[in-house]
Amino acid sequence: MIRKVKGTRDILPPETRLWSAVEGIALEVLGGFGYAEIRLPILEPTELFVRTVGEGTDIVSKEMYTFADRKGRSLTLRPEGTAGVARCFIENGLGQRPQPLRLCYLGPMFRYEKMQRGRYRQFAQIGIEILGAAAPAADVEVVLALHTFLSELGFDDLRIKLNNLGDPEDRERFIALLKGELGPSRDELCDDCRRRWTENPLRILDCKVPRCRELVAATTPVSEVASDPARAHVDAVEAALAELAIPVERAPRLVRGLDYYLRTVFEVVSPELGDDTVICGGGRYDRLIADLGGAPVPGVGFAIGEDRLVEVLPASFAGPRLERRAVALLPVGAAAVAPAAGLARDLVRSGVAVETEVTGRSLKAGLKWAAKIDAVVAVILGERELGDGVAVVRDLGRGEQSAVPLDRVVAKVVELLAGGGDR
């Protein structure tokens, strides 16, 4: 037996219906705020992520699926979406379009990580980016769009944590301060953090090892080192969100796993998954496009982990939207096959979900099968009925049936489905 690649998932029906419902609502709600869908390649040049996500990050140092193609070019399966959007913005001259540009994406991402609940090697993200807006109003809108989307899904218990990372210039001062404060306990840090010390010290704040956390808890928070303009920016974002009654907590030591963020960073956690399993991460990245060789175009965005989101969807969501009461079509005899298929087409065009018996079962076996697939109505097309120009429409809940002229079957089925709430 061939098994799936470690860290990938088979998402089966009916769970796939949850996924497409979530994606549909995402495109609708985020699209409502002006974020138009963009579809980008999954394969990108490796250099794109090295230059944007940052060499000292977990993603670039150990999580990327990188390989040489047949001509020896180094390619990487995208580990996140923002870098590709930035590349595309520059390559397609999107700065020529009316600014700011609002974009939304969804699709698979790849990271070579240790498998655990909510952590996969192929996972899906839903994200938005607003490019060309430096003012706090853009950060406010991004968090508002996120909050609105999550509320539409029925969430009311998620926590949004927000921090101020300051500007890149502040970061150098912060790192010097952090190293000074952690210096005496440097030997007590975990192996990863000792590597981070030289490669990317800010990442030490993100370490999940308990002793590292204790040591970090005693240091000056990164938000306190932010310059006055950065402080004014994030304070303005926070004030506007408070005015909108969007509950946001300050988390003065929060950092994200990507180097390009500055000023505003935020994440969303759920009580069910706990603080270490983040559902959404986001923030501002004003230098990203310039660092890639483009114009100095500021940006803000977020990325939701769809696997984690679907896992904690409120029960209120799973119910009604998942309902799909099918009609079983039971042709009996070869002459009924084409009329049944034609009826299937008419029903589907009228918005009714059907499943047609196509294995040649007898009527009795066909009715058993209809019960097994939870059909609510069965339409029986036998040779005799067809000769009379009728079909038998059977309400499987009530066990009642009647012969209905073929051109009235669709209307009859629709009527039964509309009234069949007591099943």
Give 10-70 as a DSSP string. ---TTHHHHHHHHHHHHHHHHHHTT-EE----SEEEHHHHHHHT-TTSHIIIII-EEEE-T
Please answer whether residues 401 and 395 qualify as being in contact, where contact means their C-beta atoms are separated by less than 8 angstroms: yes
Q: Minimum distance from CB of 421 to Mg ion (Å)? A: 46
Find the shortest distance in angstroms from Cβ 214 to Mg ion: 21
154 torsion bin: left (phi>0), alpha (psi -120 to 50), beta (else): left
CA distance 12 to 63: 27
Residue closer to ligand ATP (CB basis): 205 or 377: 205
Nearer to Mg ion, 285 or 317 (CB): 285
Peptide bond before residue 252 is cis, with ω within 30 degrees of 0 = no
303 makes contact, choosing from ligand ATP, Mg ion, none, with CB < 5 to 8 Å by partner type, with ligand ATP
Tell me how far apart the alpha carbons of residues 303 and 109 are, in angstroms, rounded to a whole number: 11
Please report how many Cα atoms fall inside a 13 Å half-sphere around the Cα of residue 258, on the Cβ side. 25
With CB under 5 to 8 Å by kind, the binding choice for 125 among Mg ion, ligand ATP, none is: ligand ATP
71: burial class by Cβ within 10 Å (0-12, 13-18, 19+)?
exposed
Two structure tokens written together for 224: 């306190």
Q: How far is the CB of 285 from Mg ion (least distance, A)?
A: 17
The least CB distance from residue 278 to ligand ATP, in Å, is 4
Binding partner at 81 among Mg ion, ligand ATP, none, C-beta below 5 to 8 Å by kind: none
The residue (of 126 and 326) whose beta carbon lies closer to ligand ATP is 126
87/308 with CB nearer ligand ATP:
308
Interface characters, 234-273, with Mg ion (x: CB under 5 A): -----------------------x----------------
Closest approach, Cβ 76 to Mg ion, in A, equals 16
- Using the minimum distance from each CB to ligand ATP, give the nearer residue, 310 or 343: 310
Smaller CB separation from ligand ATP, 119 or 213: 119
**122 vs 356, beta carbon nearer ligand ATP:** 122
Kindly tell me the number of DSSP H helices and DSSP E strands found in the chain: 16, 16
- Contact partner at residue 259 from Mg ion, ligand ATP, none, CB < 5 to 8 Å by partner kind: none
Count the alpha carbons within 13 Å of 371 in the hemisphere toward its beta carbon: 9
The count of residues interacting with Mg ion (CB under 5 A) is 1
Q: Whole-number minimum distance, CB 58 to Mg ion, in Å?
A: 6
* Least CB distance to Mg ion at residue 126 (A): 17
- Nearest approach, Cβ of 9 to ligand ATP (angstroms)? 10
- β-partners of residue 301 are 129, 283
DSSP conformation class of 116: B
User: Which does residue 278 bind out of Mg ion, ligand ATP, none, counting CB within 5 to 8 angstroms by kind?
Assistant: ligand ATP
Length of the chain: 423
59 versus 417: smaller Cβ distance to Mg ion: 59
Q: Shortest distance, CB of residue 126 to ligand ATP, whole angstroms?
A: 9
Judge if the upstream peptide bond of residue 14 is cis by omega within 30 degrees of 0: yes
- Residue number with CB closer to Mg ion (35 or 120): 120
Residue nearest to ligand ATP (CB): 305
Q: Is 14 left (phi over 0), alpha (psi -120 to 50) or beta?
A: alpha
Q: Residue 76 burial by CB count (10 A; 0-12/13-18/19+): exposed, middle or buried?
A: buried
Partner from ligand ATP, Mg ion, none contacting 94, C-beta within 5 to 8 A by type? none
At its nearest, how many Å lie between ligand ATP and the CB of residue 417?
A: 38
Q: Which does 395 bind (CB under 5 to 8 A by kind): Mg ion, ligand ATP, none?
A: none
> How many beta carbons lie within 10 A of that of residue 69, not counting itself?
9
Q: Which does 263 bind (CB under 5 to 8 A by kind): ligand ATP, Mg ion, none?
A: none
DSSP 154: T
Question: Which one, 305 or 331, has the nearer CB to ligand ATP?
Answer: 305
Is there a contact between 419 and 401 (Cβ–Cβ < 8 Å)? no
SS3 state at 119 = strand
* Partner whose footprint covers residue 300, from Mg ion, ligand ATP, none (CB < 5 to 8 Å by kind): none
Asked whether 346 and 42 are in contact (CB, 8 A), the reply is: no
Among Mg ion, ligand ATP, none, what binds residue 131 when CB lies within 5 to 8 Å by partner kind?
A: none
Interacting residue ranges for ligand ATP, rule: CB under 6 A:
80, 111, 113, 118-120, 123, 125, 256-258, 278-281, 303, 305, 307-308
Q: Are 332 and 356 in contact (CB under 8 A)?
A: no
Residues that bind Mg ion (CB under 5 A): 257
